[in-house]
Amino acid sequence: MDSRRCKCQWCGMKIAAPNGAQTITCPRCQSVTQLQPARNYGFANFPTANNNMSPGFPAFPSRPGRMSPNANNFQPQQFNPMSPQINNIRPPAVHGRKRAVLCGITYRGHPKSLKGSINDVLSMRYFLVEKLGFPNASVVVLTEDEKDPYKYPTKVNIRSALRWLVQGCQPGDSLVFHYSGHGTRVRDHDGDEIDGHDESLCPVDFETEGRILDDEINNTIVRPLPRGATLHGIIDTCFSGTFLDLPFLCRINRAGYFMWEDHRIRSYKGTNGGIAISISACDDHQNSGDTTAFTGFPTGALTYSFIQTLEQETKLTYGRLLMSMQKKIQEAQKGIGLNGENETQEPQLSSSEQFDIHSKMVAI
């Protein structure tokens, strides 16, 4: 039988697939790879390094960094969780107890493209695999450098990866979602936000396909978490304080005193018994940015300070993690600066439940 060479979209194993086959199951990780021809992602009008900015592309602010406008006129799209485009991925059998989705987008060709997003993802992958013992095949990376079209950070691919992250989740599992890219605030249309705005991430094709709102992110990876499972979101973008739409936001001062804000308005947006914790770059009204202050090459301030703190300190509590990251970022702002910005960037901690941040240990 005639066949063609293809590659597993999750673990990278090369597979011989019969001509005409639409799917194939990887013999190594048991995940299903779609074999239909590469989709037209609607990039015809998306700016690249060799063309001009599309007139329809939302204009980012004039200053560099992870900054984008308040898109108050944005109308959220209907999300169908049963779409076959989203439910066609099964978690690899080799995922063990640890699994991660890492998404970094630079928006190449746009005047306000980001320089550090892919660096962030590569650093996070190395840290998770080499330092924390995540199986390499269980760390899914979506960036513009990926050869596999299913790992290009489009809206449909990000949605599919998020569904994969929680599928088959069991007590004792540790999940990580890391995002480095542009974020926006949009008007809240269902009345569940204290400040009247939803937060959102911008896929590479958001000009044509739209953003992914925090409501959807919460519904996809937070609510299904079973008792005994843990999700950590590491969110390196602007307006990210309540990016996972978790019920409680921690406020902490420089002396370490903290209190929890209850962000529940109409309904509980927690888990199915598990715990979800989000560590984000800044408050919902703040900007974040790339910086060369730490290493000499562009990296997200939140991502770098997060990894460095976990590598340098043992027996780390969430309170100590938050305070250490704040100190590192403040030092960077005083030195080279975050893209020349003088604005304050304060890392945030939110959670599906309240706890003593100075006694609960960080466990990823």
Q: Give tens-digit pLDDT for 26-66.
A: 665 555 676 754 343 333 333 333 333 333 333 333 333 44
Q: Give tens-digit pLDDT for 350-360.
A: 999 999 999 99
Residue 200 has pLDDT above 50, yes or no: yes
d(CA 253, CA 259): 9
Q: Give tens-digit pLDDT for 320-345.
A: 999 999 888 888 777 654 554 445 67
Q: Give tens-digit pLDDT for 141-187.
A: 999 999 899 999 999 999 999 999 999 999 999 999 999 998 877 66
Catalytic machinery residues = 182, 238
Backbone φ, ψ for residue 164 (5° rounding): -60, -40
Of the candidates 61, 75, 17, which has an alpha carbon nearest to the alpha carbon of residue 343? 61
Q: Give tens-digit pLDDT for 234-263.
A: 999 865 557 888 999 888 887 888 999 887
d(CA 166, CA 218): 12
- Percentage of residues of the chain with pLDDT beyond 70: 65
Mean of pLDDT values over 299-313: 90
pLDDT for position 296: 61
Cα 335 to chain centroid distance, Å, stands at: 28
Q: Which two tokens stand for residue 120?
A: 């962030």
E strand or H helix at 300, and its extent? Answer: strand 299-300
Q: Which two tokens stand for residue 192?
A: 């569940």
Average pLDDT of the residues of the chain? 75
State if pTM tops 0.85. no
